[in-house]
Amino acid sequence: MDPERELASKVDALVGRHSTVKRPGDQVDDRNVPVLTDMVSAPEWSPPASEGTPLAGMSDAALDALSQEIFTRVYGKIDRDLAHKIEDRIAAAMANHINVAITDVITDMRQEIANEIGDAVNAALADQLRRK
């Protein structure tokens, strides 16, 4: 029997085993059908015996120095990461505010330049009309 047919027959047998209504062609061989709820005995497990912690032989001064070094390293990493994140957030927030401010300044400048040009043209025309 090829492996696909064998697997299909096992699946059919498993489905048929748990079916409440037996089909006429069902022939279930309980010995060859895997069941997910079968109990398996596992060997007893116990944690490995510890020979003491590596820190047990250290003096209080060495432990203090080690804890200070760990604190300094962790604080430095957190400080750098936090500084980069804050910088990125500020840059993103400031970019929006700067874009709005620049747009407002350009709009105001265009209006002021247009007013200045209009005033200059009116003054030139008035001078021309006075000369005639």
97-111 pLDDT, tens digit each? 899 999 999 999 999
Q: What is the mean pLDDT of residues 45-55?
A: 70
pTM beyond 0.75, yes or no:
no
66-91 pLDDT, tens digit per residue, is 999 999 999 999 988 898 899 999 99
* Highest-pLDDT range among 31-35, 43-47, 57-61, 100-104: 100-104
Calpha distance 110→117 (Å, rounded): 10
Check pLDDT > 90 for residue 113. Answer: yes
Question: 3-state DSSP call for residue 108?
Answer: helix
- 50, two tokens: 């510890």
Residue with token string 């250290």: 58
Nearest in space to 26 (alpha carbons), one of 36, 13, 38, 35: 13
